[in-house]
């Protein structure tokens, strides 16, 4: 069993076969506006369910990208040196310049070991954080597929911030996934009108039909002003499709939950 504690936004504390894994650490309080480049910005509307000091020791931080504050804020950044390993994008690892940081491009893999624990294999999965041709603006982003020891399949897949595009569909068809963390919210900015920078509920339905996980956990869909899909609309969309409704688990922030 995997135990997940949703801290807020994309931040999840994961306990997986002895490994303590933290995803996209964000621990700043609510109320601040953060710039996202090219004139875009967003206000953090909800604070974390756990304080950074309450997380405890962390073996691995999975950082989908380091350059947007809704995935790595100031208090989250302060946790990076204390983790045994930080896995992120190649450009992110160069910017962080930390001795514990490992950079991966989509399709690349790193294997982590620790005494008394099964090995953990981390494979970066493709993300496109916006419409076609947006990568030079949005920057490099990856998701992560985790495999434990010699067990077949993927124990946990964190999609990362992405729209539903062809490489993501292709990966979803090939991964044998137990638990998937879905980054949703349908991010939009006034400056770019109807263009979306992350998946919405309909995309989630399609992705779950392709990947067929045992459990799907929506994260990163509320708490910021740049999310365009209201949470209740997201819930209704997922509940309206039997295949999605059967696998989706909504986590209570701050409460450890076995999945």
Q: Mind listing the pLDDT tens digit for each residue in 152-211?
A: 999 999 999 999 999 999 999 999 999 999 999 999 999 999 999 999 999 999 999 999
What's the rounded Cα separation, in Å, for the pair 248 and 239?
9
- pLDDT, residue 1, reads 82
Q: Do the Cβ atoms of 30 and 46 come closer than 8 Å?
A: yes
Q: Are 166 and 135 in contact (CB under 8 A)?
A: no
Q: Is the pLDDT of residue 134 over 90?
A: no
- Residue 136 is predicted with a pLDDT of 84
Closest CA to 144 of 98, 177, 101: 177
> How far is the C-alpha of 182 from the C-alpha of 204, rounded, in Å?
7
HEC secondary structure over the chain: CCEEEEEECCEEEEEECCEEEEECCCCCCCCCEEEEECCEEEEECCCCCCCHHHCCCCCEEECCCCCCCCCCCHHHHCCHHHCCEEEEEHHHHHHHCCCCEEEECCCCEEEECCCCCCCEEEEEEECCCCCCCCHHHHCCCEEEEEEECCCCCEEEEECCCCCCCHHHHHHHHHCCEEEEEEECCCECCHHHCCCCCCCCHHHHHHHHHHHCCCEEEEECCCCECCECCCHHHHHHHHHCCHHHHCCECCCCCCCCEEC
Q: What is the pTM of this model?
A: 0.97
CB 13, CB 50: distance < 8 Å? yes
C-beta of residue 196 within 8 angstroms of C-beta of residue 160: no
- In this structure, the strands spanning 19-23 and 60-62 are parallel
Extract the tokens encoding 84: 């045994």
Bridge partners of 136?
none
Quote the pLDDT of residue 210: 97
Q: Could you report the per-residue pLDDT of 62-110, keeping only the tens digit for each?
A: 999 999 999 999 999 999 999 999 999 999 999 999 999 999 999 999 9
Q: Which domains does the chain have, with CATH numbers?
A: 3-249 (3.60.15.10)
């Amino acid at each position: 069993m995997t135990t997940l504690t949703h801290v807020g936004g994309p931040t999840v504390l994961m306990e997986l076969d002895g490994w303590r894994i933290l995803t996209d650490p964000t621990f700043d309080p609510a109320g601040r506006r953060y710039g996202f480049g090219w004139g875009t910005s967003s206000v953090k509307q909800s604070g974390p369910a756990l304080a950074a000091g309450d997380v405890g020791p962390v073996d691995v931080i999975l950082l989908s990208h380091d350059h947007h504050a809704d995935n790595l804020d100031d208090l989250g950044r302060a946790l990076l040196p204390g983790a045994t390993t930080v896995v992120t994008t190649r450009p992110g690892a160069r910017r962080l310049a930390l001795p514990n940081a490992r950079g991966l491009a989509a399709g690349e893999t790193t294997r982590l070991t620790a005494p008394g624990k099964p090995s953990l294999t981390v494979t970066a999965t493709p993300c496109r954080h916006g419409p076609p041709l947006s990568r030079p603006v949005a920057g490099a982003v990856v998701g992560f597929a985790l495999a434990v020891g010699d067990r077949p399949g993927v124990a946990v897949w964190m999609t990362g911030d992405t729209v539903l595009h062809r490489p993501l569909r292709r990966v979803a068809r090939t991964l044998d996934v137990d638990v998937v963390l879905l980054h949703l919210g349908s991010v939009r900015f006034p400056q770019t009108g109807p263009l979306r920078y992350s998946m919405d509920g309909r995309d989630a339905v399609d992705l779950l039909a392709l990947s067929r996980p045992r459990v799907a956990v929506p994260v990163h869909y509320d708490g910021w002003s740049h999310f365009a899909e209201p949470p209740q609309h997201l819930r209704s969309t997922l509940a309206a499709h039997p295949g999605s409704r059967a696998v989706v688990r909504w986590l209570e922030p701050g409460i450890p939950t076995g999945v």
